[in-house]
Structure 1
Amino acid sequence: MARLLTIPQPPDAALGPAQRKFNQLQKQLDGARQKLQAWDDALPPFAAAFAQQVAPLRAEALALRRAVATQLDAWLAEPKGWTAGERAVMRDIACNLAQEALADAALSTAERAHWKALHDRHADLALDRAQALELQRLKAALAAHTGLDLEDEDFASPDELFRHVRAQLDQQQADAEAEAAARKARRKPTAAQLRRQAQQEAAQAQTQQTLREVFRKLASALHPDRAPDAEEAARRTALMQRVNAAYAAEDLLALLGLQLEVEQIDAQHLRRASEAQIQHFNAVLQEQLDELRAELKQRAAQFCAQFELNPEREPEPARLAPLLTQAQAAWRGEVFLAGRDLDALRERDKAKRWIKRMRAEARPEGW
């Protein structure tokens, strides 16, 4: 593991604000990288445990719920024996369960047709018509909210609509930024702006020069042809691949880190960098940290979506075991409830009591 690149505290003076910020950002980046690695390490064992302990319960629960829908469909096919209110309850639940089944991406074409037909037998609106109306409502709402003209646009799905709206909004933002940049370019810069620009250009030029110098030193020290044996040549080749990647990306901080790793420099070299250089480094570090934090949030969201989890707070890769236990308990409960409901629907008298209970419980939409 690479050593952390931080500026050491001198014995007779304090670090400057930019130097302290540099160290703080380096530690935060190191923590974010470790957390990202923790996600990489934690996901495979969690996925394996989920497949073994939770997925069978989920499959059993969904199969029982589909059996409930099939039993309701059979009762609804009988012309007599049910009141209008009882039929309404059974139709609503059967339609919701059919839609739940249709959300399964693994359904075959024949299974999809079966559940669509079951839904349409009992729904006030056929599924295709209901989805078309919902898409129109969503399009009107987005047009009103964003001010975009979507009137003559046709979309096959909500996802396609959202992608189109996102692209249009991104284009609007890009056009606005380009116009703002053009207006700024037309304005004569102030003396203070000219000074800041000159300082930035000087810092960037110094960074570019340092970039080339560090790369040349690393390339000279790590040339595989100068290695004493094959093992060392392989180590140098791997390091040079990292050096080349960092140089291509103009990532001076990564190159300095590699110098520290191969002991070409010590952290005292960094302490002698100018204030302008350190401030430039800090801007780069902050950008990297923001990107890493965004990636960590995306990892957590993808994890929850993949395993259909809805934790109270953002999951931590070091604490996934309780989520597995909770998911197992939740699906075990769904198996119990769906099995109980299916048993209650096997006989007419019990089914009537079940319908009465459904009315009283007023289960949320989706069941």
Structure 2
Amino acid sequence: MSRARKQFNTLIKKLETARALLAEWKETLPAVMSKIDGEYNPLVDTHGEHFKQLLVLLDDMHDHKLLGKRERQKLSRFVASNALDLLADADDAVLKDLYNRHSGDDFDAQEDESKEEIRLMMETLLGAEFKGDIDVRSPQAMLKAFHAQLAEQEGEAAAPQQHQEESRPKRPADLARERRLAAEAQRVKQSMRDIFRKLASQLHPDRETDDAQRQRKTTLMQRVNAAYAANDMLGLLELQLEVEQIDQASLANLSEERIKQYNKVLKEQLSELESEIDGFVGVASIEMHADIFDEVTPASMIRELDSDIAHLRLQIAIIEEDLQSLRDVKVLKAWLKKLPNQSSKQQLQRDEDLFW
């Protein structure tokens, strides 16, 4: 089997897998989004509000006469660290006040300084100058501003270059390359058109006198038109197999040139399907505030979502217990004793899972 035919078979398998995965995403995403909106997001909000209440409680207990100096320092580190964590998700005056008093710093001043450092770093890395009010903590906003500036610079630079290129006669090698690419594109387009015409010739419903057959051919012709409009080579080939215009032996006997033309269309089709799948994954991951690095399926996304929901419920229950028990200074002292010297909200959650 030639390299082109092996590639053809591989592309067909990948396309079938991608189409099945895309269909699964289209069917499953509404349920995923409903679970995110109906269960996950409300729990995230509840967890954040409960944690804020816990920090306020600890702030109230900070000056209790039975707490020692080291215990107060440990409590302050905890309040400041976790107020800073929560401020990453919300601009809250209460949290800012907690952070400022327990850290000895000024959150707004630190934020302005940090933004300026990020701006300078990104300008150095990208070789760009960001002007105006840009959210430098948003990668999307920074990249959007960068691309806009780049497009503007390229537009200014391209104008004289384009004029120069238009006035300059093309080299024979460039002309030959343009003709070769145009001819190749025309051959690929002709391959799709040949399949379409062959199917249309056989399936045109107006030529059918039997009502049942006319309805069958009308449905098939609608599928043919949809596949051709979408540049769906696999769909057209499957229709040819379905109406017995070709069989596996016919595919095996196609010329190498025709196989290569089919492969070009199939590659483009696969790329479009994969981009559409990435779009579904991206929507779900953004709503879950998650970074998706591994290959993800609708089933694995739902499992991850269910796991996160269960974990949030557990953490909310733990914090609710803390809000009651830590009002007792003896319990608070024991709790502080178990708390690591350098803690974060995530570390607290792991420690409390063990503690309770």
1:44-91 CA distances to partner (integer Å, 9 max, x unpaired)? 555667788867765664443232023134345x69776666555545
Partner of 1:280: 261
- Alignment RMSD: 4.5
For structure 2, which runs of at least 5 residues remain unmatched after alignment?
Answer: 349-356
Alpha-carbon distance, 1:140 to partner: 0.7
The CA deviation at 1:25 is 1.0
1:22: Cα distance to partner? 0.8
Tell me, in whole angstroms, the C-alpha distance in 2 between the residues paired with 1:121 and 1:17: 66
Is 1:154 matched up with 2:133? yes
Q: Secondary structure at the match of 1:158?
A: coil
The amino acid that maps onto 1:36 is: L
Q: CA deviation at 1:26?
A: 0.8
The reply on whether 1:18 has 2:4 as its aligned counterpart is yes
- Give the match for residue 164 of structure 1: 145
TM-score (norm 2): 0.70
| Paired AA for residue 171 in structure 2 | K
Amino acid at match of 1:334: Q
Amino acid at match of 2:15: L
Q: Determine whether 1:264 maps to 2:250.
A: no
2:124 corresponds to 1:144: yes
The gaps in structure 1 that reach 5 residues or longer are 1-14, 106-111
CA shift, 1:348, in A, is 3.2
User: Is contact 1:243-1:258 (8 Å) kept?
Assistant: yes
Task: Indicate which of 43, 53, 66 corresponds to 2:52.
Answer: 66
Asked if structure 1 preserves the Cα contact closer than 8 Å seen for 2:227 and 2:236, the reply is yes
**2:113 maps to what in 1?**
133
Of the structure 1 ranges 306-315 and 134-143, higher mean CA displacement relative to structure 2 is found in: 306-315
Question: Secondary structure at the residue paired with 1:314?
Answer: coil
One-letter amino acid matched to 2:94: A
For residues 145 and 304 of structure 2, the distance between their equivalents in structure 1, rounded to whole angstroms, comes to: 36
Displacement of 1:315 in angstroms is 3.1
Mapped partners of 1:189, 1:293: distance in 2: 38
Within a 5 Å distance, the mapping from 1:281-300 to structure 2 comes to 281-300=262-281
Q: Which 10-residue stretch deviates more, 253-262 or 140-149?
A: 253-262
Code of the residue aligned with 1:351 in structure 2: it is L
Contact residue 191 and residue 262 of structure 2 kept, 8 A: no
- Identical counterparts, % of pairs: 31
The structural deviation recorded for 1:357 is 3.6
Q: Aligned residue for 2:13? A: 27
TM-score by length of 1: 0.69
Alpha-carbon spacing, 1:118–1:323, altered in 2? closer, same or farther (3 Å)? closer
Is the contact between residue 15 and residue 270 of structure 2 (CA under 8 Å) also seen in structure 1? yes
- Name the counterpart of 1:348: 329
